[in-house]
Structure 1
Amino acid sequence: MGRRLTPRKIINYIVFVVVAVMAYKVFFQSDKEKDFDSEEYNPKKTKNEFNDDFIELHRPKGKGRSDDHREKVKAVKDPDELDDDVDDVKKKQRDETDNLIKKKDRGNKHETKDKINKYKDRADTARNHDSKNQKHSVHEVDQRDDHKMAEPVKKKADENVKVRVTEAVAKVDDVKQPKDDRKQLLEDEDRLRAERLKKLRKGSGEFDLDGDDMQTSKEKNARRKAFFKSLSEVHEQFDEDAEDDHFHERDDDLAITTAVWSDNYFGALQLVDSVQRHLPRVEIGLFDLGLTSEQRQKLESLCKVKVHRTLLMHMPDHMQDLSRNLWRPFVLQMALGTYGHVIYISPERKLKSIKDFKGFVAQSRIGGVSIVGRRRDYSTYVVTHPDMYHYFNTDIKNLQRTKHVEISMIILHNTVQVRMKFMRWLYGCAVEEWCIAPPGSHTKCDHRLHANSRLWANCHRYDESAINILLASWHNYQTKHYIRRDTITAHYDGRDVSRKLKYCDSARQIGDL
């Protein structure tokens, strides 16, 4: 079974058989006509593997084959009877081979293999005999049987190939057409994000983010537990359906506030000038984040202006970074506690018009908070570090469909709902550095923020991201309840407005809190 049947072997077998048959006829026909002296030769008996009769082989003593001394064979039986025996052997072996092939087709592979190996061993033994007629018969049977055994094997191999091809085609037919790579990527990311957030709802679960080592994961988990513990300690009971008296304030009760330090001092002067012209009866609250004594004194001399010290130096180190606006939740908390109804305008912006000003205020009364700014084509999800979601209860899919707003103005009312649903979470996140500014976060995005982008751009908007997320979740991602396009403020243009400002002598008495 170990040998491989090739076309060349088949041809060699056929040629050998033809030559052997011709030699057999010539050899035995010439030997019948001659007599041999029995004393000149020494008989040597050998037994045929396929026949119980003995054949005597006579060879010359000490001489090679020549015309006078050739190998002469004298069989016990007549040559005709020997031919019949060879035919019987062939028939017997052919029948045995056919039976083995049939058993192989029925699935008896192991039994068939053993018997075929046994037959091969017997055939190899027969080939080693000196009798040419025995060699011829064995070769003929071997050639025929190898050919017969090769046919079912080849047939079985072809059937196996067909089966494998059929199975492969079936699998290809069953495979669905792949979805768009970008859409598939979003779905996979949403699924993984949902699995990670599932255990983190309501302050439970462990951080398990890709790329975090064990120490970092433990630190994140400890910080998150401390965050939720601190929030649970600040809780007020309230009825969401009850009407709040704070929502009926007059427009004059609103205070316009901002943060000011030495770098944006002239921008604050321009804001004060615009408020004095458009809303002369509205108070202006400026929260000092780093003014000089002269700058502070001049601002306190302006009409309707009050400068508040913030004690920012006692806040966590990350909140003292003025370039990233991490201090804004702190200023909003102070403003809300000081005035009750607040319009916060970003530093270095001013009022350019009060057209539909009442409409802006009316919208803020829907939930207590309204943001005004530029609505972007991409979602908040694109510009928010993933670690921030572990602190807020957020629906990622809805957030991916919610447009991000670059905030220029915020209107807040000091109600229980605003304190519990918005300010408590915003201020708590601002105090926890790994919430407001997760490790590795930065403002520069990896790629261009194209329209309708839904993939994270590896950048972060700090407090602006937090405000967008909290308000979207609060209002069930219905942006019409809390977003307005900015049509009433403009950026600081660099003009000197010192001569236009209104000074009040009594204002100098308005000092520190």
Structure 2
Amino acid sequence: MLKGKKGWHATDAGQLRLMLFSAVCIALIVLHFLLFFKGLLDDDTCSCTDSNGLLNTTSFYNITDDIAPVFVTAFSQSHFMEGKRLVASIREFHKTAKIVVYDLGLSLKGIVRVRRWCGVEYRRFRFEEYPLYFEQLFTFRWKPIVIATIEERDARETYWKKGYPWDTVQWTANVKECKKSTYLLHGFTGHGIYPATDPALYSYFPVSLQELKKPKAKMYEAGLVLAVKIQETVTNILKWSVLCALEERCMATGIIPNACNFNNSDLYATFARCHRYDQSVINVLLADAYYYDRRYYTSEITDFFRIQRFLTRTVRNRELKCA
């Protein structure tokens, strides 16, 4: 085999430049990996968790007996009439209450009509600030976001007469023993949490499946909620429900078709092959935070509301005008 002559050629210079370029690229890749890996070790938080300040913990409410709640609802144009009826029913019983309506896709005409309703504040849900899958309204990802963004409430001064003979030590002990969650559900669905929750959700929220299958872990509707923004609410419920909404696979489900097939002889421990989206998430979080016992996270008062999923009468515009 013939050997080439020793000497310097243009091809040798080209090979050298190629080797130097490759070495620089490899060095940059290694440096980038080391910096990224260090970031993983130093920071265990998600960069997308709270860019909009949804879980602000600097402005909690001071709960008193004389706080007037703010009513909040959200609907698209396809549910405009149901939303109109809801606002009219609130106005019937609470003449001066503040009502916030979030626009999930109203028409221009619908927006104009909502703005005319008495005591109603119109707000557009800013879908552009969230991932595209938020636009799938049936997954209800928007709901925990809406609840987390509400900060207004009407409060009047409460006076406590000094010198009143009240055993505050015993009273505090009783309240601590018997108190309920600051995130309360109201309407029982007729079945437990386990049957209507995609098992994939448990990979995000490790829970006791044994406790979740017991009759005391009842599932309640998430469409009617009393939420008070204090640290307990944010830490136990809002924080995790918002994070779940932002995570594409958390609040959604791969179960198709998503239609419950309940075992009527066992409505608590048999999976019905369905998922209730935000309702499943909220019930799992509440159950896990409050001993898997619905008595701690439900009001147990059922005579102050009525759920009607279909229109039963026409709402007249005058019902939404200020008196």
C-alpha distance in 1, partners of 2:268/2:234?
Answer: 33
The residue type equivalent to 1:374 in the other structure is: F
Q: Secondary structure at the match of 1:421?
A: helix
2:193 partner letter: T
- 1:397 corresponds to: 210
SS, match of residue 456 in structure 1: coil
Stretch deviating more after TM superposition (295-304 or 320-329): 320-329
SS at match of 2:202: helix
Shift of 1:262: 0.5
Question: In the alignment, residue 45 of structure 2 is paired with which amino acid?
Answer: K
- Match of residue 386 from structure 1: 199
Compared with structure 1, are the counterparts of its residues 389 and 441 closer, same or farther at alpha carbon in structure 2 (3 Å cutoff)? farther
Give a deviation string over 1:83-114, Cα, whole Å, max 9, x none: xxxxxxxxxxxxxxxxxxxxxxxxxxxxxxxx
Name which structure has the greater RCO, CA cutoff 8 Å, separation 6+. 2
Cα pair distance change 1:416/1:374, threshold 3 Å: same
Alignment of 1:17-416 (within 5 A): 229-230=45-46, 246-248=62-64, 250-252=66-68, 254-334=69-149, 336-339=150-153, 366-377=180-191, 379-401=192-214, 402-416=217-231
Question: Structure 2: which amino acid aligns with 1:366?
Answer: K
**1:236 CA drift (Å):** 8.2
Distance in 2 of aligned mates of 1:385 and 1:340: 38
Cα distance per residue 1:344-400 (max 9 Å; x no partner): xxxxxxxxxxxxxxxxxxxx97331101112423x2111111110111131111111
Residue 498 of structure 1 aligns with which residue?
316
Query: Does structure 1 conserve the Cα–Cα contact (< 8 Å) formed by 2:185 and 2:221?
Result: no
Q: Deviations over 1:405-443 (max 9, x none)?
A: 233310001111211111010010011121111434653
CA contact (8 A) 2:195 2:262 kept: no
Quick one: which amino acid aligns to residue 306 of structure 2? T
Q: TM-score, normalization: structure 1?
A: 0.44
One-letter identity of the residue aligned with 2:274: C
Counterpart secondary structure, 1:427? helix
Q: Which runs of 5 or more residues in structure 2 are unaligned?
A: 1-40, 156-177
How far does residue 327 in structure 1 lie from its aligned partner after superposition? Answer: 2.2
Instruction: Supply the distance in 2 between the matched residues of 1:232 and 1:318 (Cα, whole angstroms).
Output: 15
Corresponding letter in the other structure for 1:498: R
| Partner AA of 1:307 in structure 2 | Y
The structure having more radius of gyration, on CA atoms, is: 1
Q: Kindly, what percent of the aligned residue pairs are identical? A: 21
Aligned pairs for 1:465-480 (under 5 A) are 465-480=280-295
TM-aligned CA distance change 1:260 to 1:490, over 3 Å = same
Cα distance per residue 1:141-197 (max 9 Å; x no partner): xxxxxxxxxxxxxxxxxxxxxxxxxxxxxxxxxxxxxxxxxxxxxxxxxxxxxxxxx
Amino acid at match of 1:395: S
Q: Kindly state the Cα deviation for residue 247 of structure 1 after the two structures are TM-superposed.
A: 2.1
**Alignment correspondent of 1:190:** none
* Secondary structure of 2:62 counterpart: helix
**Higher share of residues assigned helix:** 1
CA RMSD of aligned residues (A): 3.0
Q: Note the C-alpha offset of 1:231.
A: 8.8
Distance 1:233 1:266 in 2: 34
| Partner residue in 2 for 1:16 | none
Alignment match, 1:489: 306
Change (3 A) 1:365 1:294: farther
Aligned CA distance change for structure 1 residues 266 and 382 (closer, same or farther; 3 Å): same
Deviation per CA, 1:8-47, whole angstroms, max 9, x where unpaired? xxxxxxxxxxxxxxxxxxxxxxxxxxxxxxxxxxxxxxxx
3-state DSSP class of the match of 2:254?
Answer: coil
How far residue 308 of structure 1 moved from its aligned partner, in angstroms, is: 0.5
In structure 2, C-alpha distance between the alignment counterparts of 1:261 and 1:368, rounded to whole Å: 28
Matched, 1:459 2:277: no
Deviations for 1:287-315, whole angstroms, at most 9, x for unmatched residues? 00011111111111111111111112442
Structure 1 unaligned segments of length 5 or more: list them.
1-224, 239-243, 342-363, 506-513
Distance across 1 between alignment mates of 2:256 and 2:291: 27
Q: Report the number of matched residues.
A: 249
**Structure 1 residues 449 and 466, CA gap change in structure 2 (3 angstroms):** farther
The residue type equivalent to 1:293 in the other structure is L
Give the Å deviation of 1:485.
5.2
Asked if the contact 2:101/2:122 (under 8 Å) is kept, the reply is yes
Provide closer, same or farther for how the CA distance between residues 450 and 258 of structure 1 changes in structure 2, counting only shifts above 3 A: farther
Structure 1 counterpart SS, 2:200: helix
Contact 2:179 2:296 in 1 (8 A): no
Residues 382, 457 of structure 1: 8 Å contact kept: yes
Change (3 A) 1:318 1:442: farther
TM normalised by structure 2 equals 0.68
> In 2, Cα distance between the equivalents of 1:311 and 1:321?
14
> Is this contact kept in 2: 1:369–1:413, CA < 8 A?
yes
On the 8 A contact 1:442/1:460 being kept in 2, the answer is no
How far apart, in 2, do the equivalents of 1:456 and 1:231 lie? 35
Corresponding residue for 1:47? Answer: none
- 1:237: how far off? 8.3
Are 2:216 and 1:421 equivalent residues in the alignment?
A: no
> In 1, distance between residues paired with 2:313 and 2:264?
33
